[in-house]
Amino acid sequence: MASLHIRDVRKNYGNVACLKAINIDADDGEFLVLLGPSGCGKSTLLNAIAGLEPVSDGEIVIDGTVVNDVESAKRDIAMVFQSYALYPTMTVRKNLTFGMRVRGVPKHEQEAAVERVAAILQLDQLLDRKPSQLSGGQRQRVAMGRAMVREPKIFLFDEPLSNLDAKLRTDMRAEIKKLHQRVGTTTVYVTHDQIEAMTLATRIVVMKGGEVQQIGTPEDVYDRPSNLFVARFIGSPAMNCLRGRLQGDGAAASFVGGQDRKQPLKIALGALSPGQQRYIGRDIVLGIRPEWFALAEHADAFDATVDVVEPTGADNFVLVSAAGESIMTRFAPGVGRAGESVRLSANAAKALIFDAVTEQRVP
């Protein structure tokens, strides 16, 4: 196991900046997820850590050693790719031992490593099969096992589940999490799937346009996104981001917005922090997760009309309209009927305020 430090790393392709001053610290044994939309630079950063891409500037430090000029094979990392990259003519056993055989590892050490990894990944009964005889999930476990036999300092995963169907992705997420809990190896995992990020990570690095937008625990990036990009990108359904004005005083403030000026949307926010109080009388963006709304009949509630109900089994996603604004809410099964009038209130303790110009969250 090892720590990983990314220090002011930049990567340029001609005049195009793909990575812009990336700074990340991963502790020994951490599971770090690089999350962002396609083209944000997360795979480029992973390849730079692996030594597959040289950086234009900055340092990559693994276990206290700057590895910028260390070739990939000598960085003591193991990478699992989106494609399983298994040798089709070799059995599972030979796929697992191939790298060790190339390096001249004694046969008894190879056998011990295969036995250890096969037990962890439940590959014992598959060792004499070839990849064509395996399911997608089994192939991915073999690809993981081939990385594990090396006992590397760092595991690198490049969207390893994107080729699997929904059920297999769920199963393999659990397998990867159990694997990390057992072996505790520092892991960097690239994905554009926020569910994978939220369920696997000890910390998430949210990226956009080659820049880090936020680094935090899954709870941090979900409950306290640093800006509107993170707020909208994390969460399914996405956070409601409503434009309007902050009114009232520091002890009893309200958000006032919506398209209907005669009957505007008014959401009670209660007491504000000192930083938020500076925005009274100014335009803001109010961020509220769908589950932060509740049915209510008290005076601070606002009127809404149910437009669409999307049952998912465990929840009902209920799209409502209020003062010309569409708002997504999340309730228990059976709640909401199209055309129904409801009264809603927002959880003021959870609601977030963002600067309307900079789009940064106001603490």
Phi-psi region of 78 (alpha: psi -120 to 50; beta: other; left: phi over 0): beta
| CATH class assigned to 240-355 | mainly beta
Cis, bond preceding 311 (omega within 30 deg of 0): no
Comparing C-alpha atoms, which of 70, 358, 104 is closest to residue 227? 358
Strands 211-216 and 203-208 turn out to be antiparallel
pTM of structure: 0.89
Strand partners, 26: 4
Looking at the chain, which residues constitute the CATH 2.40.50.140 domain(s)?
240-355
- In the chain, residues under CATH classification 3.40.50.300 are 4-233
pLDDT value at residue 133 = 94
Q: Is the pLDDT of residue 13 over 80?
A: yes
Give tens-digit pLDDT for 253-269: 999 998 877 889 999 99
Report, as an integer, the average pLDDT of 149-161: 89
Confidence tier at 120 by pLDDT (50, 70, 90): confident
**Within 13 Å and on the Cβ side, how many CA atoms surround 93?**
11
Residue 42 confidence (pLDDT) above 80: yes
> What is the spatial distance between Cα 178 and Cα 217, in angstroms, rounded to a whole number?
19
**CA 213 remoteness from chain centre:** 12
Question: What is the CATH superfamily name and number for domain 4-233?
Answer: P-loop containing nucleotide triphosphate hydrolases (3.40.50.300)
Residue that wins the pLDDT comparison between 102 and 225: 225
Has residue 83 got a pLDDT over 80?
no
In the structure, what pLDDT confidence band is assigned to residue 1 with cuts at 50, 70 and 90? low
